[in-house]
Chain A
Amino acid sequence: MAEGEDRRQVTVRLVALQATTVVLFTALAIGFWYLQIVQHARFEEMAENNHQRALALRAPRGVLFDRNSKVLVENRHSFTISIVREHTKDLDRTVQLLAAVASLDPRQVKQIVDQHRGEPAYRPIVVVEDASLAQVAAITARRLDYELPDVVVEEVPTRRYPTDALAAHLFGYVGEASDAQVGQGLASSGSIVGQSGVERVYNKLLMGEDGARRVVVNSVGREIRTLEEVAPKEGRRVQLTIDYDLQKAAEDGFRNAGFNGAALIMDPNNGEVLSLVSLPSYDPNDFAAGIDRATWAALNTDKLRPLQNRVIQGRYSPGSTFKIVVATAALEEGLVTPDFKVNCSGGANFFGRYFKCHLKGGHGVMDMRHAIEKSCNVYFYTLGNMLGVDKIHKWAENLGLAGKTGIDLPNEQESIVPSTEWKRQRTGEKWYAGETISVSIGQGQVSVTPAGMAAMISTVANGGTRITPHVVKAIDDGTGWKDVPPPAVASRIAFRPDTLSALHDGLWMVVNAAGTGARGRLAGRDVSGKTGTAQVISLQGRERARGSGQDLRDHGWFVFFAPKDNPQIAGVIFAEHGEHGYLGAPIAKHVIETYFAKKEGKPLPMLQPTVPARPEADPDSPPAIPPSAPPVARVGGTPNGV
């Protein structure tokens, strides 16, 4: 074979190689042109999504102050540990490692992650709220080792409530927005919103606006630099009508006496709530950083129902305190004058049945003032019989006891004072006049909240103006404090002067003369009030329930205002299973004493530990109602309402 031909073949094949190379490189150039020019916008966006993250900056909730600008609820910093699945390569590995490092139960972590599986991958799933410093340190070390690139530790503002669960039911608590709340557009998923109390009612003001930070992160999720930051806007500062010292005085009073129960104390002239107590309580701090299952379950299954705000959600039989309503009704309807006298011989017959007074021998002949002072049942049976249930209902409503008070707290229950209409709607039956007799001493189907009682005594104290209790005094809208106008007065009826003086005198005598409220007496303060005992269960029921372990002791009421003329403070003490109304009076006394001491710049009173009370006759104890009285024999209110 000729050398030339060989050479020619080599040349041909070399040209083929050259051509192949050129074609390959042209193809590459076209490929790059396609990616870098044609598809540029798309890839540029993807590159940005790769390395830019928008982090939510949680806004601190608005600070709550008391009426004297003392800070009640503020914010502290806490750490949350979250998984950002966007960066996750192996979720199970991350869960296992995270659980091991932070000493968590891997199954629980998995469960939390599974709950949020449907959310976008870039949104952090919070695994630990309020992490301990040890946890934070352990996680941070692993992050530096690139072992947990998909786990982030964030510092977030968290609610701090006063110690000892002070005013817990007033403040309420916060929690992650529920699906329903997210659905209603109240909050975005994962945000913290008020779930109860003031936190809930004023959530919109308190929540503030979350900020955002756009950061550059590298492939392991570490932040390299911040591109832009929109600072979070702190929630509005809110001044409550509460007085810290009075709140504390009331709670101390309950603790000192060893009662659970409720108290609502306010300014009877404008409805500003000075103190709101519901015991037993819960610690809102437990909720601030997400409540753990065990605590939540314990709170929910507790027979004493610590989550219930007894002030507005507990309904109880008012007992003798209801006599104030009956007296007001009889006087204002013009049926009697304060001089109207009834002879009490220890009981009386109505509609063929004998209704007892609590004093066996009877009170003898008494007028209105003394009947109130002595809490004479026969006197009020007589008034009730003259009035009829509908007039009693009308005046209960006028005094603010029936229905809701309209306080700015969530889930208030209605106080029930029966009427013929009410019974017909409820049961379809007509009202028996005999039932009115029980109602006139606060028995029967009367079932009221402590808030309703506080509204009632305030109306009596101020002479007929039905104010609405409220807890917010002023709001800082960012430009300074603006007073919140008090809610509209529900009704304004000027009581006749003789009505007012008879009521005020009678109630003054309860405390300062021979009445049942002597334990509330305070020199120079003219405390006026009325005790009452709410039967938890009838005498027959008590027999049946014996040994069931239920607390069957009666509840005690004390409604009060002070001073008698131009009252400045009014309220109710409800002592759950306190047995006697008069045992609530010392709590009221302590609050009133604190109120005036503070007002006059004197040192606040200290509570002396109580010596066990010497048993004394309780005129408020409900009279035994004959078993033969079918429609009347309704037992006192159920402790926890309906």
Chain B
Amino acid sequence: MFERRLYHHIDWAMMAALLALCGIGLVQIYSATGGATRVYFTQIYGILIGLVALLATLSIDYRTLADKSHVIYIGVVALLVYVLFFGAVRGGSRRWIDLGVFNLQPSEFAKMAVALVLAKLFGESRRGPVTRADVLIAGALTAVPLLIVARQPDLGTAVTMLPVLLVIAFVAGMPMRVFGILALAAVLVAPVAWKFALKDYQKERISTFMDPEQDARGAGYQQIQARITVGSGGLWGKGFTKGTQGQLRFLPVAHNDFIFSVLAEEQGLVGVLVALGLYLFVILRAIEAARLAKDRLGAYLVLGVLASFTFQVVYNITMSAGLAPVKGLTLPLMSYGGSSMIATLAGFGLILNVRMRRFTN
């Protein structure tokens, strides 16, 4: 299955960038949690398992995976349904399967499954431009896991599936007017959603974002603290383990959602630019892989995986600087979290897979 010559086509530059980001994340987790704690080692295991997962998704030809995409998709949806009823509850939501050693979060893998199934749908299509039927089917395929995850509730992860659909549909040639209609629909639906779909705490987060000072002790607290954390870092930062905001826990979940704020505090703008550069490099390199892909399936698969990744990176970093409403969205590759790390690296396995096999038949 894994031919020796393919080894030469692995994108080692991207691999290096990925590992560098994992490393930066690990260092900041070490700092934010006060040393080599359990969290730190869990993250190391996460990275190692993630690399194994990466090898796995790299080894199997993506076309073979795409052929089995419906099985994977149905399997993941089944897991999500299982979680909805039997999953472990933490912090008021039911997202995890308790595996004893660690908790598995199937929603992280749902993104990949959606990317696979949509890439297959659009990539296999030989009927020319995207039809309305394609869009409807794609929409339905995205909606099923999205709604289940939203029910957990985990609106943050659910929303990351939307970019998968949008980007694949966009590159697959969905007419721009459809995007226009979608945008219009979103504008129309928003007030209704505000009224009926969002929970109070979700509404609060959004209204707080508009004016964090109105609730400086409550929901606005994190946002203000995030800005203070980043702003006080300055050009060169306060130094490794010297950040006061993260070290003294003014910033909640510093090793998780706000890992980038900690980086900004301790390593300053310089560290921020290095990390941003690495992410940008990875993303552009992946788009390059999509361009080089041998077939449309490969291109769409790369973009599908990349879409949720990029969305999450941009949103999390914006939030880390206190410039977006606080949402429970982690920063892929850097934040603490086993499932996220494994799923993300597995996703990049697919991207590397497509690039590596650009010459094969």
> Which A residues are within 8 Å of any B CB, using their own CB?
1, 6, 9-11, 13-14, 17-18, 21-22, 24-25, 28-29, 31-33, 35-37, 39-40, 42-44, 46-48, 50-51, 88-89, 216-220, 224
Contact = CB atoms under 8 A, between A and B. Distances in A.
A220 B171 CA distance: 50
Quick one: which of B129, B231, B314, B321 has the most chain A CB within 10 A?
A: B231
Contact of A36 (B218, B230, B291): B230
A353 to B, nearest CB: 83
A11 B299 CA distance: 11
Interface of B: 128-129, 167, 170-171, 173, 217-218, 225, 227-235, 244-245, 247-250, 264, 268-269, 272-273, 276, 279-280, 283-284, 287, 290-291, 296, 299, 303, 310, 314, 317-318, 321-323
A36 B272 contact: yes
A37 B268 CA distance: 9
Contacts of A33: 269
Contacts of A21: 280, 283-284, 287, 310
A89 B217 CA distance: 6
B173 A9 contact: yes
A28 B318 contact: yes
A395 B277 CA distance: 100
A37 B235 CA distance: 6
B230 A35 contact: yes
A28 B296 contact: no
6 contacts: A17-B171, A28-B321, A32-B264, A36-B231, A218-B250, A224-B248
Instruction: State the majority secondary structure of interface residues on B.
Output: helix
Contacts of B323: 31
Contacts of B303: 17
A33 B345 CA distance: 30
B314 A1 contact: no
A219 B234 contact: no
A25 B227 CA distance: 18
A641 B152 CA distance: 81
A315 to B, nearest CB: 58
A29 B276 contact: yes
A216 B235 contact: no
A42 B229 CA distance: 11
B279 to A, nearest CB: 7
Quick one: which of A18, A88, A216 has the most chain B CB within 10 A?
A: A18
B276 A28 contact: yes
A13 B171 contact: yes
Given A14-B287, A40-B234, A43-B227, A32 B321 contact: yes
B228 A46 contact: yes
A21 B285 CA distance: 12
B235 A36 contact: yes
A25 B310 CA distance: 10
A10 B171 contact: yes
Given A10-B299, A47-B245, A216-B244, A18 B287 contact: yes
A25 B279 contact: yes
A43 B231 contact: yes
A449 B303 CA distance: 100
A25 B231 contact: no
B269 A43 contact: no
Q: What are the nearest 4 A-B pairs in CB distance? A: A43-B231, A47-B232, A218-B248, A219-B249
Given A44-B231, A50-B248, A51-B245, 18 more contacts: A1-B128, A1-B129, A6-B173, A10-B291, A10-B299, A17-B170, A18-B284, A21-B287, A24-B314, A36-B230, A36-B233, A36-B268, A36-B272, A40-B231, A43-B227, A43-B232, A46-B228, A88-B217
A217 B248 contact: yes
B234 A220 contact: no
B242 to A, nearest CB: 12
Contacts of B248: 50-51, 216-219, 224
A32 B230 contact: yes
Contacts of B296: 10
